[in-house]
Amino acid sequence: MMVDHKERDFYSQMDPRSKNDDPPNSRLFVICHKSLEEDDIRKAFEKFGKIEDIWVVKDRNTGENKGVTYIKFSKTSEAAFALEEMNGKMLGMVGRPIKVMIASNRDQGSVRETNEEERWVRLFCVLPKSMTDSELQQEFSKFGQIEYATVVKDRNTNESKGFGYVKFKKVSSAAKAFEECDRKYKAVFAEPKKPKPENMDSKYNNGSSMSYDSLGHTSANFGKSSISLDIATNYPNPEGYTQLQVIAHPALNQDQLWKLFDIVPGMDYCHLKTDARYRMPRGQAIVVYSNPNAAAYAREKFHGFEYPPGHRMIVKPDTSNMSSKGSSKPSSNSAVPARTDLAHLAETIAQATSLIQAAGLTAPSLEQTMCIKLPPVQPMANVDAEVAKRCFIVCGPPVPPIYAMKDAFCRFGNLIDVYMLPGKNCGYAKYATIASADEAIEVLHGQEICGSRLKVLEAEERSVGEDRRKRLRVDEDER
């Protein structure tokens, strides 16, 4: 039975659990003989580790086995060892050798890279700026044979940018490194390298290169060669902040966020926050620049930018770590921005957005999916702000994506957070002011978001004892 990438993607779209990829690359796609049942598959694969779920794809009308099975392991390394050991093996007395692959996540879309297998063996790592290629290779070689280890450097200064890539020869080696390497490296599986676009008409790209990854995201170099550090340092920033808070789509990983914000010269550090309880991305990040003007420049250009297409980012200054002595002020010479270059960058970004829309990748905005006019998007309040009022949310099915919920509830200002209870169709929105919460209840109650009707009510206030008991339960779960 031959199944190509497109057919595998079709089955992935059918799988109601295809978003269950925590940890990453822990779900296998198995092509086998139709006579093999779930027990046969389980017996063959359970020796590699804990199997959390098995789904044998069957015809909805006839109930006939289609010869396709999904196996979800509890660990990335377990799935990797099973892939290497079982691919090409015979199961049962009939049929051909089975085919085993890492299952595609639904978020990856239907477009596949020609070098897709690279996403299973290549890691993106945050590194000390003093680390060399040889030191990086030595650090990760204990997990298995390495094809290459590269520290990414600035083309002009030849200084490390603080991150790099390690590509292993075996899937299991990359999985072990992902699980067991020092947490300070913040290792994640990297996206495949993008082929350079060919025959791109320069009059349309204006010096910018655009490509789309498997999630439908853009990998863009918005004319970076024309955005010199001088432009960034000439952009005014009276507040003197160098750190930014970013709220983005939860599907974005560290690698993608780093590549995006590194478009603006002067980025020192980028850290994607994860939920300590579920080890899942929260869609929030901290980005630090080398000087206040570069930070102001990045804030201006990326706040409201759609990445991935259809999902606007919120970028705001983070002044929590600033002190009156430590904050740097731009010099009087930096008060006048380089208008010509800024206009050029704005034009380039506009053209990039046009390319995205022309490719049909821009999702409908929230306003287009709702029958009422919403206020404009407003910055979210600090996550440590005191909660003045909570809204209780009941929705679905289906439950809207969390980024859509945040997009809707942040429009009334002073939103601290929106979260849905695990496995439930209900959750809470926390506001720093009572007025914002009341307005959200009045406007959003009874409305539809992404095909799901909402009930938005005033949440009952919890007693001090209840809060304390909940915190104790969360602490126990995290331990």
> Mean pLDDT across the stretch 157-170?
92
Say what percent of the chain tops pLDDT 70.
Answer: 67
pLDDT tens digit sequence for 80-117: 999 999 998 888 776 678 899 998 765 554 444 556 77
Is the pLDDT reported for residue 468 higher than 70?
no
pLDDT confidence of residue 298: 86
- Best-predicted range by mean pLDDT among 170-174, 320-324, 467-471? 170-174
Is the pLDDT reported for residue 145 higher than 60?
yes
Sequence-ordered list of residues with C-beta below 8 angstroms from that of 356, at least 6 positions apart, any chain? 210, 218, 306, 309, 362
Cα–Cα distance list, 240 to 44, 231, 317 (Å): 60, 16, 10
Residue among 439, 386, 429, 425 at smallest CA distance from 407? 429
- pLDDT bracket for residue 44 (50, 70, 90): very high
- pLDDT bracket for residue 207 (50, 70, 90): very low
Neighbours of 477 (CB within 10 A): 10
How far apart are the C-alpha atoms of 204 and 200, rounded to whole Å? 8
How far apart are the C-alpha atoms of 9 and 7, rounded to whole Å? 5
Is the pLDDT reported for residue 178 higher than 50?
yes
Query: Which pTM value belongs to this model?
Result: 0.47
pLDDT confidence of residue 182: 93
Q: β-strands 146-153, 160-168: how paired? A: antiparallel
Give the domains, in start order, of the chain with CATH numbers. 25-100 (3.30.70.330), 114-187 (3.30.70.330), 232-315 (3.30.70.330), 387-457 (3.30.70.330)
How far apart are the C-alpha atoms of 421 and 163, rounded to whole Å? 35
Cα–Cα distance list, 172 to 77, 168, 204 (Å): 6, 9, 43
Residue of higher predicted confidence among 327 and 277: 277
- pLDDT bracket for residue 384 (50, 70, 90): confident
Phi, psi of 212 (to 5 degrees): -120, 130
Is the pLDDT reported for residue 417 higher than 50?
yes
Is the pLDDT reported for residue 191 higher than 50?
yes
Torsion of CA 377, 381, 382, 385, to 10 degrees: -160
Q: Tokens standing for 286?
A: 């901290």
